[in-house]
Amino acid sequence: MKTHARAVVIGGGVVGVGTLYHLAHKGWTDSVLLERKELTSGSTWHAAGLLPLFNLSYSVGQLHKYSVKLYKSLQEETGQHVGFSQVSNIRLACTQDRMDEYRYYAGIARTIGVDVRFLTPDQVQDIWPLARMDGVIGAIQHPDDGYIQPADLTQAMARGARQLGADIHRNTEVTGVTQLPGGEWLVTTPNGDIRCEHLVFATGNFARKTGAMVGLDIPVIPVEHQYLVTEPHPDIQARRQQGLPEMGVLRESDASYYMREENGGLLLGPYETGAPCCYLNGPDPASEYELFQPDLDRLLPHIEAAIARVPAFAEVGIKRVYNGAIPYTPDGSPIVGPAWDKRNLWLNEGHSFGITASGGAGWQLAEWIVNGEPSIDMMGVDPRRFGAYAGAGYVRQKTEEAYRKVFTVHFPDEERGAARPLRRAPCYDRLKAEGAVFGSIFGWERAGWFAPPGYALDDAEIRRPEVLLNKPHDEPAAGEKPRERWSFRRSNYFPHVGRECLHVRDAAGLLDMTPFAKYAVQGRGAEAWLNHVFANRMPRKVGGLALCHMLTPAGGVRAEATIFRQGEQDFYLVMAGGQERHDWDYLQKLAPQDGSVQLQKITTQLGVSVLAGPRARDILQTLTDTDLSGTAFPWLTGKPISIGHAQALALRVNFVGELGWELHHPIEMQNTIFDLLMQAGAPFGLRPFGIKAMDSLRLEKSYRVVGREMSVEYSAFETGLDRFVRMEKPDFIGKNGLAARQGNAANRFVTMQVHGVADADARGSEPVVLNGELIGRTTSGGYGWRVEKSLALAMVRPDLGEPGAELEVVILGVPHRATVIAESPYDSDNLRLKQ
């Protein structure tokens, strides 16, 4: 075995081999893969081999699309048969919500170039004559989809990697990894040690064990998954003999199973409720080609549903049941990207559809490792989208939930209930008493909207269609009634959110934003370093505030921060709560090592209450001696103030476009401040509002959000952040990249008014078209209550983004006329927030 390699990949399942293959293709032929047993002896060998393109995550959708394309060419490249059967994949819909999901998905698919077709029940019947169409109202078909032989696929990529010079060592268990003082990794195995510059973990069910070697708590726990294969059925055999095509993969989403032909019989794979986590402490050291005892009771409801749909299924015996472990993460998407807190350590773990994703994940990870950045927005799979809150107990509950919800309708406003509440701001109970309906972000409970006293949905409003998956909504907690119905359309909370928006416009609202991530940056080099890390200039004066963006070297947008200058070399950074680990990781890795800058994460030390609306000043002024007038306390400044007998750092900034302050206070004073504000605000009509109202209010100001309008795929200029980018600064990360891209933008940020909306606003990821041609995609959308317009933010072809341009936005399959309008349709001169 070599003693040195450019990169070492640990794990010889389909995912590790896919990574090695792509590293070799990127020119890192001096890479090595180490597998403790045989290739594919983990989860890979027993996978059903399906390649579902369907995925509502932009990142995962891109990975799957790439994989399917790659797998078609592998045999030709490597000479290894991969058994790709492009038999297409049909997903049935038995409910209107399901059809909406497909319509929404079809929009996403169009924007990323995946072919999806809608079928009528009759058309499905033609393709699948063995199936009955009772209750089916429609279907979608992926013609490019199908299945593959997972072991052959893995061997093909292994051969491809070896052909380019990469090495694979089987029966070589990694027993330890250590980062050497120079940054290299020392990988220890019984067959010798190997040093490398970059190390990749792709260890499937062993992820937690592997993570423990370097002190990382990787949020992956496997869940048992079963599929069964029947004896051959004469009708299917007859079809073969007649030379008829395979019927393809059939997914009855509303009954939570997939089915396809297998050797003249059928293969059925349900996603059951009650499937347990496994390997809680990792698989046994001897584990290899391991399967668990089948649990047919758990499969029974799905078998019955499958028989009702395909009666032939009941006419043949079950040949074999496979019950194996699938790695899962709390949200069901894999973990692909850099490990937090470590340099040159990469994770390709948590793959629950690893056969489908391995090509794409290997492709993007190799780009990230070799080029320094992925070429598509990987936020949906970034390992740092979870935080330290995701310990084993949390992950266990969430992975079981992710598994049983594989086939539920993935409503865009779905708020899953497992492992909640976890992180609660002190004012949680007070908000709850005010009627808050909570969602969760990064483990925090966050008020989405406020229901009127006594408000609850009756049973008829929570539609329970007669399908197996008839409980898409979690049961409310004991003693509570459901108050929220998830939907792709305007839902029951729509008018209540509207009331909150108008109240913020007319009086004042209070929003808890405690989940904001908060950092202190101090030290003699603080200002210079921040000016290097962010594209904007740091506020010149103590007490000044600036909106700043962290860019990629190519000029894409990685993160956004509100930066307050507290002292000469003392800065306070407020950043997206959901990105805390991601942003903190970059800050830490970029920080100088010479002691000139000290970084501190202070998220949980401080709560944040946002007071906004025309009466905000009147309310706050009753509680403080600080002069809050526009001249004494102008927009984009901040200062410490007292609030009654409590205190806070008041920042004159907010995300809703009204007069207001963000009050950053010691967390232990939160309830005191909450009570003081609510009491003082009562005569002015102060009421709490939620994050859904904030999202509508920010749309009307064309405020961008990371992960939507701002992403590594779009340059800061494309996103229209020009006024926050100081090209005249001598240097900042992304400056050269931006300079190189100047004048050749591929996209342009626009705000659009969408016409003719009845009950479904844009949400983001809808296609934007002109004369039938795709010319962009929406990034956000919703109803603007203050401007009384349905709005969409979008990235479109630059020449089509002038205000006045007439385009179309396709919402749930229906094209709507959309006019590009000037930015910030509400209070475009910012008079209200500056007053």
Ligand X SMILES: Cc1cc2nc3c(=O)[nH]c(=O)nc-3n(C[C@H](O)[C@H](O)[C@H](O)COP(=O)(O)OP(=O)(O)OC[C@H]3O[C@@H](n4cnc5c(N)ncnc54)[C@H](O)[C@@H]3O)c2cc1C
Selected binder of ligand X within 26, 37, 424, 524 (CB under 6 A): 37
Question: Least separation, in Å, of the C-beta of 431 and ligand X?
Answer: 39
Which uninterrupted H or E stretch holds 611?
Answer: strand 606-612
Which uninterrupted H or E stretch holds 736?
Answer: helix 735-741
Selected binder of ligand X within 28, 102, 104, 227 (CB under 6 A): 227
Which of residues 48 and 563 has its CB atom nearest to ligand X in the complex?
A: 48
Question: Least separation, in Å, of the C-beta of 399 and ligand X?
Answer: 13
Selected binder of ligand X within 5, 16, 250, 255 (CB under 6 A): 16
Q: Identify the sign of the CA torsion 663, 668, 671, 673.
A: negative
Contact at 8 Å (CB) between 444 and 515? yes
Residue 744, classified by CB atoms within 10 Å of its CB into exposed (0-12), middle (13-18) or buried (19+), is: exposed
Selected binder of ligand X within 107, 121, 160, 204 (CB under 6 A): 204
Selected binder of ligand X within 74, 82, 108, 202 (CB under 6 A): 202
Residues binding ligand X: what is the number (CB under 6 A)? 40
Our CA dihedral for 235, 237, 240, 246, rounded to 10 degrees, sits at: 70
**What is the three-class DSSP state of 773?**
strand
Residue 11 interacts with ligand X (CB under 6 A)? yes
Question: Least separation, in Å, of the C-beta of 290 and ligand X?
Answer: 10
Which of residues 355 and 511 has its CB atom nearest to ligand X in the complex?
A: 355
Which uninterrupted H or E stretch holds 816?
Answer: strand 814-821
The β-bridge partners of 270 are 257
Residues 99-138 that bind ligand X (CB under 6 A): none
Structure tokens at 58: 């932009």
Question: Least separation, in Å, of the C-beta of 350 and ligand X?
Answer: 8
Expressed in percent and rounded to 5, the helix, strand and coil fractions of the chain are: 30, 25, 45
Which of residues 15 and 507 has its CB atom nearest to ligand X in the complex?
A: 15
Choose one: 30-38, 69-77, 435-443, 690-698; the region binding ligand X (CB under 6 A).
Answer: 30-38
Residue 12 interacts with ligand X (CB under 6 A)? yes
**What is the three-class DSSP state of 492?**
coil
Mark 356-395 with x for binding to ligand X (rule: CB under 6 A) and - for no binding. Answer: x---------------------------------------
Which of residues 44 and 59 has its CB atom nearest to ligand X in the complex?
A: 44
Q: How far apart are CA 115 and CA 469, in angstroms?
A: 27
Selected binder of ligand X within 9, 14, 249, 791 (CB under 6 A): 14
Q: How far apart are CA 773 and CA 145, in angstroms?
A: 24
Residue 185 interacts with ligand X (CB under 6 A)? no
Q: How far apart are CA 76 and CA 39, in angstroms?
A: 21
Name the E strands within 159-248: 167-169, 176-179, 185-189, 192-201, 221-230
Residues 332-361 that bind ligand X (CB under 6 A): 351-356
Residue 61 interacts with ligand X (CB under 6 A)? no
Question: Least separation, in Å, of the C-beta of 335 and ligand X?
Answer: 10
Residues 738-797 that bind ligand X (CB under 6 A): none
Which of residues 10 and 166 has its CB atom nearest to ligand X in the complex?
A: 10
Which of residues 211 and 660 has its CB atom nearest to ligand X in the complex?
A: 211
Residue 60 interacts with ligand X (CB under 6 A)? no
Residue 13 interacts with ligand X (CB under 6 A)? yes
Question: Least separation, in Å, of the C-beta of 292 and ligand X?
Answer: 9
Contact at 8 Å (CB) between 7 and 171? no
Pairing of strands 517-522, 598-601: antiparallel
Which of residues 368 and 455 has its CB atom nearest to ligand X in the complex?
A: 368
Structure tokens at 152: 């052959």
Query: For 113-206, where are the alpha helices, taking DSSP H only?
Result: 121-127, 150-163
Choose one: 28-36, 534-542, 543-551, 622-630; the region binding ligand X (CB under 6 A).
Answer: 28-36
Contact at 8 Å (CB) between 530 and 520? no
Structure tokens at 183: 């940054």
- CA of residue 95 relative to chain centroid, distance: 26
Selected binder of ligand X within 31, 41, 552, 765 (CB under 6 A): 41
Residue 15 interacts with ligand X (CB under 6 A)? yes
Question: Least separation, in Å, of the C-beta of 360 and ligand X?
Answer: 11
Contact at 8 Å (CB) between 716 and 709? no
DSSP notation for 293-352: PP-HHHHHHHHHHHHHH-GGGGGS-EEEEEEEEEEE-TTSS-EEEEPTTSSSEEEEE--S
Question: Least separation, in Å, of the C-beta of 223 and ligand X?
Answer: 9
Which stretches of the chain bind ligand X, using CB under 6 A? Answer: 10-16, 34-37, 41-44, 46-50, 173-174, 202-206, 210, 225, 227, 322, 324-326, 351-356
